[in-house]
């Protein structure tokens, strides 16, 4: 950058006789065409001893003009104290403008060392450098220099002190300096603007608004300027106080400040953040002069207020009007798509961005990662990771937490793309002290939803032990989801206690909904109901969560009562609500009621039946043995049946032994999902039940040929001595001998009272080596035997199974519940079964 531009060629000037008259040197310095010209001339001046007292300033100016701060500094030091303070200031300002903050502070130190007294221009630059580093220690050292040089009553310097302390996050010091300004009676508009900005930066918008209001009250001669408005409007936005925002808007119009581009943009942003897009649009239309920020504020406003199509429309318009899109525009559109789960569209926009030559930054990358996570696009996720590694050097320059957010995004992306090891590896690269609450939460959530929920709880315990950072509502929700998956009532209760002790009021609705879900899935429906009853505020998720709980426990009537209660409370049922209602009807044998709800959901509630609703109906009709109607419904459904629909039909064929229809359903299912192990198992069971052993063998060899293995059944139990998991024929448990003994005795005893093994279920297992396993070695029976061995009489035994409970086990456990002093609660992949005194709550609808 040239500070002085002169068209006269240097060569021409240089050919003239070098005068001993120094002003000519000044002209020659201005005429220099390159840094080496300046150096040469400087050297000549020194060697001839022709240094005029004014020349050093020209020399420094020339060096800065050719972007050589090191030469400038050398000249300043060499000629100090001849050079004016003005040129020390110029060098400090040069470094601050180029973000070389440490260099700026170093020049300041040298200046003081060389005996040049700083002036009221020096301190604002130096304080800005301290604030931007930020370094409270150096900032307060400079404050001391301010005082020792007698500048504590200079408003220019004091305002800069306020800003510095705010940037360093020490709002109390900023406030103290501001109060001293007022006491001295030297405050100006900038002082008030600085303290308002300080509170906004410190995330105290309420106090920012108070200070703004206090401005004119304390001094009637003060009139807010454009900066005051630009400072206060974000405070209105973050508090959502649109009324005050509107007043500021009115004030801007009355005082002629509305025409200021920054003010206009801040008003749009305020309305957009208050979700008042009509107002924002009016302001946008009124603005005579707009820039890309105005457009971006509108695009993001629409995207975040749920009007994404308007955002896209505006985005297209920007392109049509050749407005130069910047990284914010692109990132906002990518984020908008990603947040709506439209990952492929987001990735497409990202491609367009790259083609346009716009350089992605950390925010863009985070949005792209979230898009990859939304659609499980591991390949693109890995590519983005590669991009991050290549760009990391650039981002580390302004280390402001972006780096950690990108890493959090990567952990989340790998988790959601079911790449647990990569996710964990990324987590492990973040040093313990640098992990924030999101770092922990994304991994805990990843394990809870896509990985091993035990790992989630282990990580959560580790987080609590470390004590820093503290879990937030997101973390708690993820941990509760893990408990729900594992049916770990014990751990779930502990987290509930933690929630009560640590007050999560701000997010209590969300957390309470998770508690309802956790208690429901841990078979403590009464506790779920209690949480629900004590909630000061409920939303439709609260109602549906409890409704699901009742549905899973076969309490269809209660579920339907919840549905009525929800409608009475003025909440509108949606698609998911009806899935839950139909599920509850299906699992309680309320076929006609289910048909009634199915028919009325569109007619009375305006909810269109989706493929999931049809699947529920096929399940409902199928369980009740109305297979023809189920088949008929599949024929007339307006969309292509999904695999869930065929699984429902196939299961019904299994229960009601309809070989022909079962074969048909299995064919359809295998066309959609050729690797679905469950469909082979179900079909093989149907054949076995019908005595068609050759077909059973055919399926078995087909599976062997295609390499499809039956997912192993696994049951686990939360006993008094901790959790224990069992696979079929499992002999790995230390108490294995005792378990098998107890089981043999139980089977013997229930045979006496009428239990007959249902041998068709023995053929679940298709591998030859598994053939020999007896029914008595099924995982749920082993878990039950272990439960009986380790649970005190009278206490309930809770078992969880990853697949559907086997029919023989269901029958055996029903008999066992007659001869033992325990209620047995079994959760399988479909619902709960409460066994007590020889009967099961499912009443056969399992």
Partner DNA sequence: TTAGGGTTAG
Q: Which neighbouring-strand residues pair with 826?
A: 799, 833
Selected range binding DNA among 248-256, 274-282, 289-297, 523-531, rule: CB under 7 A: 289-297
User: Judged by CB, which is closer to DNA: 79, or 553?
Assistant: 553
Residues in contact with DNA, shown as a per-residue x/- string from 758 to 787 under the rule CB under 7 A: ------------------------------
User: Judged by CB, which is closer to DNA: 366, or 788?
Assistant: 366
Considering only residues 328 through 357, tell me which ones interact with DNA, judged by CB under 7 A.
328, 331-332, 335, 338-339
Residue 311 near DNA by CB under 7 A: no
Of the candidates 27, 449, 454, 802, which one interacts with DNA according to CB under 7 A? 449
Rounded to whole angstroms, how far apart are CA atoms 21 and 38? 18
Rounded to whole angstroms, how far apart are CA atoms 597 and 568? 16
- For 642, which DSSP code? -
Of the candidates 154, 545, 791, 814, which one interacts with DNA according to CB under 7 A? 545
- For 555, which DSSP code? -
Number of H helices, E strands in the chain: 45, 6
**SS3 for 816?**
helix
620 alpha-carbon distance from chain centroid: 37
User: Judged by CB, which is closer to DNA: 46, or 576?
Assistant: 576
Minimal distance in Å, beta carbon 123 to DNA?
Answer: 17
User: What stretch of H or E contains 420?
Assistant: helix 420-429
User: Judged by CB, which is closer to DNA: 26, or 268?
Assistant: 268
Give every CB contact of residue 287 below 8 A, 6+ residues apart in sequence: 261, 264, 268, 294
Count of chain residues binding DNA (CB under 7 A): 77
Residues in contact with DNA, shown as a per-residue x/- string from 231 to 270 under the rule CB under 7 A: x--x--------------------------xx--xx--x-
User: What stretch of H or E contains 208?
Assistant: helix 205-218
SS3 string, 443-502, reads HHHHHHHHCCHHHHHHHHHHHHHHCCCCCCHHHHHHHHHHHHHHCCHHHHHHHHHHHHHH
Selected range binding DNA among 403-411, 730-738, 760-768, 814-822, rule: CB under 7 A: 403-411
Of the candidates 68, 176, 472, 494, which one interacts with DNA according to CB under 7 A? 472
Considering only residues 170 through 199, tell me which ones interact with DNA, judged by CB under 7 A.
197
Residue 481 near DNA by CB under 7 A: yes
Residue 227 near DNA by CB under 7 A: yes
SS3 string, 47-85, reads HCCCCCCCHHHHHHHHHHHCCCHHHHHHHHHHHCCCCCH
With 0-12 CB in 10 A as exposed, 13-18 as middle and 19+ as buried, what is 113?
exposed
6-19: b or e for each residue (b if 16 or more CB lie within 10 Å)? eeeebeebeeeeee
Considering only residues 571 through 610, tell me which ones interact with DNA, judged by CB under 7 A.
573-574, 576-577, 580
Residue 409 near DNA by CB under 7 A: yes
- Residue 171 vs residues 133, 323, 755: alpha-carbon distances, Å: 16, 39, 76
Minimal distance in Å, beta carbon 649 to DNA?
Answer: 23
Rounded to whole angstroms, how far apart are CA atoms 619 and 636? 16
Of the candidates 41, 232, 373, 816, which one interacts with DNA according to CB under 7 A? 373
Of the candidates 30, 57, 296, 643, which one interacts with DNA according to CB under 7 A? 296
Q: Is the separation of the CB atoms in 795 and 770 below 8 Å?
A: no
Selected range binding DNA among 52-60, 165-173, 569-577, 684-692, rule: CB under 7 A: 569-577
With 0-12 CB in 10 A as exposed, 13-18 as middle and 19+ as buried, what is 498?
middle
User: Judged by CB, which is closer to DNA: 187, or 343?
Assistant: 343
User: Judged by CB, which is closer to DNA: 208, or 332?
Assistant: 332
Considering only residues 491 through 520, tell me which ones interact with DNA, judged by CB under 7 A.
507, 509-511, 513-514, 517
Q: Is the separation of the CB atoms in 667 and 702 below 8 Å?
A: no
Residues in contact with DNA, shown as a per-residue x/- string from 313 to 332 under the rule CB under 7 A: -------------xxx--xx
Residue 529 near DNA by CB under 7 A: no
User: Judged by CB, which is closer to DNA: 516, or 742?
Assistant: 516
**SS3 for 715?**
strand
Residue 388 near DNA by CB under 7 A: no
Residue 540 near DNA by CB under 7 A: yes
User: Judged by CB, which is closer to DNA: 363, or 813?
Assistant: 363
Minimal distance in Å, beta carbon 329 to DNA?
Answer: 7
Give every CB contact of residue 333 below 8 A, 6+ residues apart in sequence: 299, 303, 311, 312, 315, 349
User: Judged by CB, which is closer to DNA: 252, or 476?
Assistant: 476
Selected range binding DNA among 12-20, 99-107, 341-349, 361-369, rule: CB under 7 A: 361-369
Of the candidates 66, 427, 474, 550, which one interacts with DNA according to CB under 7 A? 474
Residue 541 near DNA by CB under 7 A: yes
Selected range binding DNA among 379-387, 543-551, 620-628, 748-756, rule: CB under 7 A: 543-551
For the chain, the maximum distance between any two Cα atoms, rounded to a whole number of angstroms, is 127
User: Judged by CB, which is closer to DNA: 363, or 799?
Assistant: 363
Of the candidates 436, 494, 738, 790, which one interacts with DNA according to CB under 7 A? 436
Q: Is the separation of the CB atoms in 579 and 615 below 8 Å?
A: no
Q: Is the peptide bond before 85 cis (omega within 30 degrees of 0)?
A: no
Of the candidates 30, 57, 89, 364, which one interacts with DNA according to CB under 7 A? 364
């Amino acid at each position: 950058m040239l500070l002085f531009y002169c068209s006269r060629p240097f060569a021409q000037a240089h050919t003239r006789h070098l005068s001993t008259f120094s002003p000519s040197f000044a002209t020659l310095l201005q005429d220099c065409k390159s840094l080496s010209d300046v150096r040469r001339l400087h050297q000549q001046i020194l060697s001839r001893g022709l240094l005029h007292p004014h020349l050093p300033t020209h020399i420094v100016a020339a060096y800065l003009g050719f972007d050589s701060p090191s030469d400038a500094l050398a000249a300043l030091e060499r000629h100090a104290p001849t050079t004016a303070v003005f040129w020390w200031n110029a060098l400090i300002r040069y470094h601050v403008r180029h973000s070389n903050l440490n260099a700026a502070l170093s020049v300041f130190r040298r200046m003081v060392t060389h005996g040049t007294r700083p002036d009221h221009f020096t301190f604002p630059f130096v304080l800005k450098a301290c604030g931007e580093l930020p370094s409270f220690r150096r900032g307060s050292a400079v404050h001391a220099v301010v005082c020792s040089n007698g500048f504590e009553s200079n408003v220019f310097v004091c305002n800069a002190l306020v800003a510095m302390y705010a940037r360093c996050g020490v709002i109390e010091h900023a406030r103290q300096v501001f109060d001293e300004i007022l006491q001295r009676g030297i405050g100006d508009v900038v002082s008030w603007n600085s303290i308002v900005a300080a509170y906004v930066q410190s995330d105290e918008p309420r106090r920012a608004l108070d200070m703004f209001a206090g401005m004119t009250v304390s001094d009637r001669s003060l009139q807010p300027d454009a900066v005051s408005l630009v400072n206060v409007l974000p405070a209105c936005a973050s508090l959502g106080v649109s009324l005050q925002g509107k007043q500021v808007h009115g004030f801007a119009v009355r005082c002629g400040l509305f025409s200021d581009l920054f003010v206009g943009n801040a008003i749009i942003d305020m309305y957009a953040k208050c979700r008042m897009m009509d107002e924002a649009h009016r302001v946008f239309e009124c603005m005579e002069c707009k820039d890309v920020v105005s457009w971006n504020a509108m695009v993001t406003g629409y995207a975040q207020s749920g009007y994404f199509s308007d955002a896209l429309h505006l985005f297209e318009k920007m392109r049509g009007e050749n407005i130069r899109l910047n990284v914010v525009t692109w990132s906002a559109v990518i984020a908008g798509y990603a947040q709506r789960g439209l990952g492929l569209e987001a990735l497409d926009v990202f491609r367009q961005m790259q083609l346009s030559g716009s350089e992605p930054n950390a925010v863009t990358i985070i949005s792209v990662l979230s898009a990859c996570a939304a659609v499980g696009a591991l390949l693109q996720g890995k590519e983005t990771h590669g991009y991050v590694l290549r760009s990391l050097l650039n981002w580390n320059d302004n280390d402001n937490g972006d780096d950690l957010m990108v890493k959090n995004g990567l952990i989340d992306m790998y988790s959601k793309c079911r790449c647990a090891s990569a996710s964990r590896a990324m987590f492990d690269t973040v040093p313990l002290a640098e992990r924030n609450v999101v770092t922990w939460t994304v991994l805990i959530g990843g394990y809870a939803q896509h990985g091993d929920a035990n790992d989630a709880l282990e990580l959560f315990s580790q987080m609590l032990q470390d004590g820093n950072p503290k879990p937030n509502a997101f973390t708690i929700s993820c941990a509760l989801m893990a408990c729900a998956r594992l049916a770990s009532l014990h751990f779930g209760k502990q987290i509930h206690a933690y929630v009560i002790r640590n007050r999560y009021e701000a997010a209590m609705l969300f957390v309470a909904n998770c508690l309802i879900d956790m208690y429901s899935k841990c078979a403590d429906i009464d506790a779920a109901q209690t949480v629900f009853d004590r909630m000061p505020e409920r939303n439709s998720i609260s109602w549906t969560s409890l409704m699901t709980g009742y549905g899973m426990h076969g309490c269809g009537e209660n579920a339907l009562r919840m549905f009525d209660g929800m409608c009475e409370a003025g909440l509108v049922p949606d698609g998911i609500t009806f899935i839950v209602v139909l599920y509850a009807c299906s699992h309680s044998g309320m076929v006609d009621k289910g048909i009634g709800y199915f028919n009325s959901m569109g007619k009375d509630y305006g909810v269109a039946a989706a493929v999931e609703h049809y699947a529920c109906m096929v399940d409902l009709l199928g369980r009740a043995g109305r297979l023809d109607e189920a088949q008929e419904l599949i024929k007339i459904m307006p969309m292509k049946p999904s695999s869930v629909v065929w699984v429902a039909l196939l299961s019904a064929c299994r229960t009601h032994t309809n070989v022909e229809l079962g074969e048909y359903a299995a064919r359809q299912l295998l066309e959609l999902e050729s690797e679905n192990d469950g469909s082979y198992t179900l079909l093989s069971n149907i054949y076995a039940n019908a005595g068609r052993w050759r077909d059973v063998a055919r399926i078995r060899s087909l599976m062997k040929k295609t390499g499809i293995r039956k997912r192993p059944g696994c049951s686990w139990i939360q006993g008094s001595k901790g959790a224990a998991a069992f696979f079929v024929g499992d002999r790995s448990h230390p108490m294995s001998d005792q378990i098998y003994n107890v089981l043999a005795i139980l089977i013997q005893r229930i045979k006496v009272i009428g239990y007959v093994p249902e041998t068709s279920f023995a053929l679940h297992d298709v591998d030859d080596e598994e053939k020999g396993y007896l029914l008595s070695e099924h995982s749920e029976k082993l878990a039950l035997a272990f439960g009986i061995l380790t649970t005190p009489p009278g206490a309930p035994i809770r078992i969880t199974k990853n697949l559907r409970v086997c029919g023989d086990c269901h029958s055996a456990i029903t008999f066992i519940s007659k001869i033992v002093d325990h209620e047995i609660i079994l959760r399988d992949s479909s619902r709960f079964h409460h066994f007590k005194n020889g009967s099961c709550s499912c009443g056969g609808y399992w």
